[in-house]
């Protein structure tokens, strides 16, 4: 999963015998609202952490990663992917990030993963005159990893690993290439295919015209996980670790996974049955069970409590929640958020 550029950038750096820690999370402030597909749960993303020699330190689901990964100080390659693309497929965007970081002796390196699309896509817009001119014609997209038949009424995006992709025509068993293009990561093309009749553009009966809609080349677009900013500041929401370092700020957005509810000071339940409807706890991932990686949340009487509390809404456990309020030094014995004025639960 690691890129060759990353491997080169880390080569030659050393690791000492002293230990440090990695704290890895997703940086939601960098996500854009231009995505058109729903992402899988980031807890299901596959995460790889390797030292400078290529030895695996962690391989598995992001949700299974400890809040802090204790490692020897030195250089580490970090790679995360939402999935693996072995062959072309419809509606299969893959998101991920690759970073090379240095863990200091006795310190904690905070890593913020920024998810971008790492594969490429093509969408065809087939004009009605094409079917008239080529009633037996079949269109398919082909790469070195395989091919996909593209039905005339197909609306989905076909995804490929970056590289050359060809648009092919099979006309009664005779195959020909209509165009070939090298696609970059995050590039999604919309290609128009038409075959004007005589008297159209003068190109002759059934001559195929290929056009690329440059307004639909999505290069550089990042991806959103969730509902997006909606103009209210949620895209700049702090994660739990950042919020704990900004105690005293008021009217700020914070996000995290609902991971439990406090039954007494510094005592939290992370599974049913829940006993208190006046509060909840949020963490950086669904599996958070350490108080040092949580924020306590005051649920004042009203809609917020009715919709969020785990006594009445146990299905909220593990869901992402955005909260706008004041960061306080202690609520139920740990840093928390009170006076919530707005929220969104996904």
**Cα(91)–Cα(39) distance, rounded to whole angstroms?**
11
**Cα(33)–Cα(35) distance, rounded to whole angstroms?**
6
The pair of three-digit structure tokens given for residue 245, joined into one six-digit string: 């370092």
Q: What is the pLDDT of residue 50?
A: 96
pLDDT in tens, 107-149: 989 898 888 889 999 999 999 989 888 988 999 999 999 999 9
Q: What is the pLDDT of residue 198?
A: 57
pTM of the predicted structure, to 2 decimals: 0.68
pLDDT over 50 (residue 254): yes
Residue 38: band (very low, low, confident or very high) from pLDDT cuts 50, 70, 90: low
- The two most distant CA atoms of the chain are separated, in Å, by 81
Omega prior to 74 cis, within 30 of 0: no
pLDDT in tens, 173-221: 999 999 999 999 888 889 999 988 755 444 444 589 999 875 545 543 3
Average the pLDDT over 255-264 and give the result: 92
pLDDT over 70 (residue 33): no
pLDDT over 50 (residue 304): yes
pLDDT in tens, 64-82: 998 889 999 999 999 999 9
pLDDT over 60 (residue 243): yes
Pairing of strands 279-283, 163-171: unpaired
Residue 18: band (very low, low, confident or very high) from pLDDT cuts 50, 70, 90: confident
Integer angstrom CA distances of residue 197 from 124, 139, 171 = 20, 19, 17
Q: What is the pLDDT of residue 170?
A: 95
Q: What is the pLDDT of residue 205?
A: 47
For the chain, the average pLDDT equals: 84
**Cα(323)–Cα(243) distance, rounded to whole angstroms?**
11
Q: What is the pLDDT of residue 31?
A: 47
Q: What is the pLDDT of residue 40?
A: 67
What's the number of CA atoms in the CB half-sphere (13 Å) around residue 210?
14
SS3 4: helix
Provide Rg for the chain, Cα atoms: 25
SS3 212: strand
pLDDT over 70 (residue 339): yes
Q: What is the pLDDT of residue 182?
A: 94
Q: What is the pLDDT of residue 39?
A: 57
pLDDT over 90 (residue 303): yes
């Amino acid at each position: 999963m690691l890129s060759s550029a990353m491997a080169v950038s880390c080569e030659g750096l050393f690791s000492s015998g002293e230990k440090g820690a990695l704290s890895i999370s997703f940086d939601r402030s960098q996500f854009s609202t231009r995505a058109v597909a729903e992402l899988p749960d980031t807890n299901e993303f596959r995460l790889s952490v390797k030292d400078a020699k290529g030895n695996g330190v962690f391989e598995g689901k992001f949700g299974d990663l400890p809040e802090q990964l204790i490692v020897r100080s030195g250089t580490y390659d970090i790679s995360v992917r939402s999935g693996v693309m072995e062959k072309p497929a419809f509606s299969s965007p893959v998101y991920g990030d690759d970073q090379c970081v240095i863990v200091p002796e006795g310190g904690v390196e905070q890593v913020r993963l920024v998810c971008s699309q790492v594969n490429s896509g093509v969408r065809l817009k087939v004009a009605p005159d094409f079917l008239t001119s080529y009633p037996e014609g079949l269109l398919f997209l082909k790469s070195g990893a395989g091919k996909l038949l593209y039905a005339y009424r197909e609306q989905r995006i076909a995804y490929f690993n970056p590289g050359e992709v060809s648009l092919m025509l099979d006309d009664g068993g005779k195959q020909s290439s209509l165009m070939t293009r090298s696609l970059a990561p995050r590039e999604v093309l919309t290609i128009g295919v038409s075959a004007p009749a005589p008297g159209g553009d003068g190109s002759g009966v059934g001559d195929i015209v290929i056009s690329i809609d440059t307004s639909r080349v999505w290069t550089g677009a990042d991806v959103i996980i969730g509902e997006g900013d909606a103009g209210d500041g949620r895209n700049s929401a702090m994660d739990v670790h950042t919020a704990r370092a900004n105690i005293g700020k008021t009217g700020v957005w914070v996000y995290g996974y609902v991971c439990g509810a406090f039954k007494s000071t510094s005592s939290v339940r992370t599974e049913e049955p829940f006993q208190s409807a006046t509060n909840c706890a949020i963490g950086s991932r669904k599996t958070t069970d350490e108080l040092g990686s949580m924020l306590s949340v005051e649920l004042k009487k009203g809609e917020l409590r009715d919709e969020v509390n785990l006594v009445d809404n146990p299905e909220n456990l593990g869901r992402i929640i955005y909260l706008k309020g004041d960061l306080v030094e202690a609520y139920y014995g740990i840093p928390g958020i009170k006076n919530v004025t707005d929220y969104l639960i996904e």
